[in-house]
Amino acid sequence: MLERFRGWSATVLGPIARLLVRLGVSPDVVTIVGTLGVVLGALICFPQGWLWQGVLVVMIFVISDMIDGLMAKITGTASNWGAFLDSTSDRLGDAAVFGGILLYFVYRQDSTLWAGIALAGLVFGQWTSYVKARAESLGFACTGGLAARADRLVIILVGAFLAGVGVPYVLNVAVAALAVTSMITVLQRIAQVRKQAKAANARSA
């Protein structure tokens, strides 16, 4: 999560990671607690209309997604299991954030239209991640695209925060933009994999 910010995370969050290691906390525990925090924060706060408050809660627990990786590096326990747990937990956290926004549109805006657009953003976002995971499991490179996971998370949280402090229509714009850009990203990644597959078939012919 938020891969582009991992460069400074080692400096800023390193002391916290080292403290947790000294306390005997497992990176897996940090991953699980962080995911539960994101899920509960998003699904409790957003449907109630507590948008900026929900964003703050979610962001606090999102940070744990960077801390657990630092802890694994410090302790030398980085493993495929840890990577699997982290990635799997990310999917649940994403679903909770978009699901919370969807429920906000249903219960606070009484808009099935915007709830549907939020659902489209969730579906295409999850599809984007699945395309990448499936492609890499088959040996293809599958990166980039118009809206990677970090971009989607930042856009939806910034949109929710600004909406929560009174900026009109910004959340609607963010959700619509994510639905469209996520769909485009899926197509870009499928095309990327298709190109590699065709090249591999040509070499083996």
Query: Residue 167: CB partners within 8 Å, gap ≥ 6?
Result: none
Q: Provide the 10 A C-beta neighbour count for residue 91.
A: 16
Given the residues 28, 68, 86, 90, the one annotated as active site? 90
CA-based nearest residue to 38, from 68, 76, 12: 68
Cα–chain center distance at 159:
15
CB 77 within 8 A of CB 20: no
- C-alpha torsion sign, points 156, 157, 162, 163: positive
Query: Residue 43: CB partners within 8 Å, gap ≥ 6?
Result: 96, 99, 100, 103
Cα dihedral 23→26→32→37 (10° resolution): 20
Amino acid identity for residue 59 in this structure: M
Catalytic status, residue 94: no
Query: Residue 4: CB partners within 8 Å, gap ≥ 6?
Result: 150
The residues annotated as belonging to the active site are: 90
